[in-house]
Structure 1
Amino acid sequence: MMRKVLLVEDSQAQREMISTLLRENGWNVSIACDGVEALEFVQQSSPDLVVLDIVMPRMNGYEVCRRLKSDPKTMNVPVVMCSSKGEEFDRYWGMKQGADAYIAKPFQPIELIGTIKQLLRKET
């Protein structure tokens, strides 16, 4: 069965790069361009994992993560925060919102793929 990954990213270049990477690794990728869209998508089609940018219009990644993790229906969906905000504090704050992993951009593809595989393994 193909695992479903939701990619939440407002930059088109990043979206294309990351979604291609995920598809090449055999995941079924859906896209949301901002936090509001992401929450609607998760409610409708419960993905296996969410890759979440932080800096986005309408609702930032921290807020999205907090909402996903505080809703009993979505709290068990792993969230990988993926952001150009690479400071220790950003990472700390992301984990505080309930993120399962935090990856700073620019990242090595292997880092993202490895992290996702690990989180999806935990789940099964």
Structure 2
Amino acid sequence: MTIKKILVVDDSPTERLALSEVLVKSGYQVVTAESGDEAVIKSKTEMPDLILMDVVMPGTNGYQATRTIVRDDVTRNIPVIICTSKGLETDKIWGLRQGAYDYMVKPLDHATLLEKIRAMG
């Protein structure tokens, strides 16, 4: 699977912008969403190759959105990397149980993230 289009989901405009800039400079097409609900909708309308999902957001949180996306026949093959400030081992285990492909703790090391993305595709 080649990763070309990435959906960045975060309720923080600063976080979305910073991550988008890093990804665009690395040659990826970026689509953004600011909530779990918007992420679920855009996962179907945009069909990204990868989703970077925050957890703590108003309304549908990142865990719930990830679970919804990976259980839907249309979007189940889109890998989700959870990118969150929730760094406890139990948080990570819970995120992976929701169907996340990987789990990274903020502040994100952009070089490590790009390495993981390249390794996927």
Partners of 1:2 and 1:28 within 8 A in 2: no
Aligned-residue sequence identity (percent) comes to 38
Give the match for residue 22 of structure 2.
21
Partners of 1:82 and 1:103 within 8 A in 2: yes
Give the match for residue 42 of structure 2.
41
* Residues 2 and 100 (structure 1), Cα distance of their counterparts in 2 relative to 1, 3 Å cut: closer
Higher normalized contact order (CA 8 Å, seq sep 6+, divided by chain length):
2
In the comparison of the two structures, how many residue pairs are matched?
120
Q: Which runs of 5+ in 2 are unaligned?
A: none
What is the CA-CA distance between 1:105 and the residue it aligns to?
0.5
CA distance in 1, matches of 2:105, 2:3: 26
What is the CA-CA distance between 1:2 and the residue it aligns to?
7.6
What whole-Å deviation, never above 9, does each CA across 1:36-70 have from its counterpart, x for those lacking one? 11111111121111000000011100000000111
What is the CA-CA distance between 1:107 and the residue it aligns to?
2.0
Paired residue secondary structure (1:89) = helix
What is the CA-CA distance between 1:117 and the residue it aligns to?
1.7
Q: Which letter maps to 2:53? A: L
* Moved >4 Å (runs of 4+): none
Partners of 2:3 and 2:49 within 8 A in 1: no
* TM-score between the two structures when normalised by the length of structure 1: 0.92
Give the match for residue 94 of structure 1.
95
Two-structure CA RMSD over aligned residues (Å): 1.3
